[in-house]
Chains A and B, each alone.
Chain A
């Protein structure tokens, strides 16, 4: 099935650094969601974006819904060890039959202590 392109695929960062990751699609979406998944657990919703151009924050997390509706960005400021995990973007297109999610390939975040 279709998966959205996420970059980078993985990254090491120093504690306290800022992190940026992005997600691109060949088709448009009405909603973008960002999730974090820890090993052995299900994805946990971090941020939801509903309008093109929207910028939304949740604590140290900031996400943006791209103007073209084909991309989204997630920034994490002042990273800490518990930020370790895999981050997934997910696009959603309402088409009358439901709002299934199309997920990205994931960005694995590893923190250097």
Chain B
């Protein structure tokens, strides 16, 4: 497909479990973003990659959150020792080609529920 894809679409985790969320950006897009969307809220920035380099991780809420993009394409957001407050929709967006593109295109999101 031509759009951003994310998997899984839904994830239920017991408190304390680790989870990994995957994002496949639009082919050729240099920039990749992760956002967290709580119920009834707008998305909030978590972290940003330019190719494989993580240039901004100022939005990650704690050191339990970790993101990587080792080959500059697919990205994984990992949450260790999940807590109930981590329940949210996690959105991935990409933009490009090039670093001068402003328009971000979003995937469908992964809804994480921590029980």
Contact = CB atoms under 8 A, between A and B. Distances in A.
Interface of A: 1, 3-4, 31, 33, 35, 40-45, 48, 50, 88, 90, 92, 97-106
Contacts, number: 72
B62 interface: no
> From DSSP, what is the main secondary structure of chain B's interface residues?
strand
A102 B48 CA distance: 13
Given A1-B59, A33-B104, A101 B43 contact: yes
A33 B106 CA distance: 13
* A40, A42, A43, A48, most chain B CB atoms within 10 A: A42
Given A42-B106, A50-B102, A99 B59 contact: no
Contact of A42 (B42, B50, B95, B108): B108
Contacts of A92: 102
B42 A31 contact: no
Nearest to A96: B55
Contacts of A97: 48, 55-56
10 contacts: A1-B44, A33-B103, A43-B43, A43-B91, A43-B106, A88-B43, A98-B33, A98-B48, A100-B48, A101-B93
A111 B111 CA distance: 27
Interface in B42-87: 42-45, 48, 50, 55-56, 59
Given A1-B59, A42-B91, A103-B43, A98 B109 contact: no
Nearest to A86: B42
A41 B42 contact: no
Interface in B19-38: 31, 33, 35
Given A1-B59, A97-B55, A99-B31, A44 B106 contact: yes
Nearest to B36: A1
* B42, B59, B104, B109, most chain A CB atoms within 10 A: B42
Contacts of B95: 99
